[in-house]
Structure 1
Amino acid sequence: MVEIGDRVLLYAVYGADSGVPVMSFGGTPSTRWKRPEVVATIESSGVWMVMPDRPGYGGSTRQEGRTVASVASDAVALADALGWERFAVTGGSGGGPHALACAALLPDRVTRCAVTGSNAPPLVDGPEPTEAEEQADPRRNRTSWRAVHGDLRPGLEETARTIMAAVEAGGPEFPPDPGSPPGPPAREDPSAIARLTATFVTSHDGWIDDHLAFARPWGFELGDIQVPVSLWHGSADERAGKYADHLAAAIPHAERKYYVGGHIPPTNAYRELLRWLTLS
């Protein structure tokens, strides 16, 4: 736990302290507690990784009105607490913008930045987007539009109930990639239920505040990023690919990285991403 003013920031650490320091930002929503196969990949990749719960998640104090850029000061406080002068950053899905914020705003601290399935700044002007408009350009998505023009909480709470109902009916912790068999029933794994409860039941504040932050100005310019950046997405994740098109056009010298799979990278792709972060 790190104290930041009147807030606390909770985090988990994985890997050996002799490894390359990496700060990882989870998706929207998520928790600092990671699945065993993810932890095993981290531990075998030569990195020393810290995963904070953003404000409003997992016991970290809510920070109403936070922007995407707000993460930078939290990252500095956490790195200082760990004794890290320099560190790499990574983020998956909704964690991607937060990793990019650190890359843009902390050029003297951040060495490299890798994001997976990251969203790009949305377009929230005009009337509510149609489904066809969202499919054509995910920046014009209904969640971001409603964050500006409506109330997100009822819809997110219904989504959470639907996810937990599927788990209670015997579903896996994560939906499988297209064409892949589902994982084992999450209800039979107490650790999986704990992760799901922390993500979808305990509080929805962090989830809501993430979407509010994405829909507002992010607080930095993608074009200001000078550290090496890699943009990863799966072959079956068309939405993330369209986001990556916009990010690649905006971020100088960003590398495109592809893997076979969906929104969540398989073990081999995640291991390669971590290897990329350790390059000097």
Structure 2
Amino acid sequence: MPPGHGGKPRGTLPDMSDERDVAAADGRILRVHDSGSVPDERAALVWHTGSPQTGALLPPVLDACAARGIRLVSYGRPGYGGSTPNTGRDVASAASDVEVVVDALGIDRFATMGASGGGPHALACAGLLPRRVTGVVTLAGIAPYAESYDWFAGMQAPSALRSAVVGLAAREEFAKVDDFDPESFVPVDYAALEADWASLGADAGTAGAAGSRGLVDDDLAFVSPWGFDPATITSPVLVAQGGLDRVVPAAHGFWLHDRIAGSEFWERPDDGHISILRAVPAALDWLLAHS
């Protein structure tokens, strides 16, 4: 779901039976979700959820991975889904958390994919764990904040992120009145949430109902220095962005593509912020072909 989204769309909650807790180096708990080994396993994928999400495995991603013999792993970023908050975290911290997770699961090399607010965290893994990451995909992913251009241009409801630029206290204060603007999604997004991606809407509702800590910390991380430069990524990178996206406009995808040498860009002019997730199966095929 989008950065700053506090709504509770309808849907069916995913199965939570695959949960396990892993201790980070500083003692925090990371709530991990693992599909487990699959027959004829070809690869492992670490999936980075949007904001807010619990980190649970969502059926559309799980099914697409299972059909391709890919082991799927996800986790709740700090402050989400049972993972201990880590206020003040930057985007780069996701790489060290993911390294703890994959080490605990006995996974050496893996691909990584992130949607919306998960995009920067997927890129962090590629940038900071180059020996281990075989490829990375970002879907509707947000670009690093900069004042050199209008970073907010095209966002339907940027108030949460604007408050984060002011600082922690301002973002926490805005969380008290934050509400989802229904105009942030276009008809194809609502169609996806009513059908194959209904579980994402339900999971966002669960994450939102648990409080705003994870979402506030995500937004602060997005508008602060990320702790790594996406231009240093050497793994294969695919950037996919929807032309109708009113949450993370296509300009963010173009920015990333322009600065990551050798990256591939999929412009999907008829997709919004949620409907672009229907590209997950094709993106998995891309990762398998480029690993």
Task: Please indicate the TM-score interval, normalised by the length of the shorter structure.
Answer: 0.7 to 0.9
Deviations 1:26-82 (A, max 9, x none): 011112224433432232232101011100001100011100001111111111111
Deviations 1:158-214 (A, max 9, x none): 335x58xx9xxxxxxx97526948727x9xx9x788624421111211100011111
Change (3 A) 1:203 1:267: closer
Contact 1:124 / 1:148 at 8 angstroms: preserved in 2?
Answer: no
What's the counterpart of residue 11 of structure 2? none
Equivalent position amino acid for 1:46 in 2: G
Contact 1:231 / 1:244 at 8 angstroms: preserved in 2?
Answer: yes
Asked if 1:147 is matched to 2:147, the reply is no
Q: Tell me the C-alpha RMSD between the 2 structures.
A: 3.0
Change (3 A) 1:182 1:222: closer
Higher-Rg structure is 1
Aligned residues between the structures: 258
What's the counterpart of residue 245 of structure 2? 237
Contact 1:15 / 1:47 at 8 angstroms: preserved in 2?
Answer: no
Deviations 1:86-119 (A, max 9, x none): 1111100110000111111111111100000001
* Distance in structure 1 (CA, Å) of the matches to 2:194 and 2:219: 28
What's the counterpart of residue 47 of structure 2? 24
Asked if 1:11 is matched to 2:22, the reply is no
TM-score (norm 2): 0.78
Change (3 A) 1:222 1:205: same
Contact 1:178 / 1:236 at 8 angstroms: preserved in 2?
Answer: no
Deviations 1:95-154 (A, max 9, x none): 00001111111111111000000010113589xx8xxx8336x6xx54333213151234
Residue 267 of structure 1: how far off its partner (Å): 6.6
| Counterpart selection for 2:188 from 171, 177, 186 | 177
What's the counterpart of residue 169 of structure 1? none
Residue 222 of structure 1: how far off its partner (Å): 1.4
Deviations 1:246-268 (A, max 9, x none): 11111111100134422124575
Gaps of 5+ in 1: 167-173
Partner SS, residue 89 of structure 1? strand
What's the counterpart of residue 257 of structure 1? 266
1:116-155 aligned at under 5 Å gives the runs 116-123=139-146, 134-135=152-153, 142-150=159-167, 151-155=170-174
1:76-225 aligned at under 5 Å gives the runs 76-123=99-146, 134-135=152-153, 142-150=159-167, 151-160=170-179, 176-177=187-188, 180=191, 183=194, 195-225=203-233
Partner SS, residue 77 of structure 1? helix
TM-score (norm 1): 0.81
Contact 2:189 / 2:272 at 8 angstroms: preserved in 1?
Answer: yes
Contact 2:44 / 2:110 at 8 angstroms: preserved in 1?
Answer: yes
* Distance in structure 1 (CA, Å) of the matches to 2:285 and 2:176: 37
The structure whose RCO (Cα within 8 Å, separation 6+) is larger is 2
Gaps of 5+ in 2: 1-20
Contact 1:116 / 1:233 at 8 angstroms: preserved in 2?
Answer: yes
Equivalent position amino acid for 1:3 in 2: A
Partner SS, residue 51 of structure 1? strand
* Distance in structure 1 (CA, Å) of the matches to 2:233 and 2:201: 38
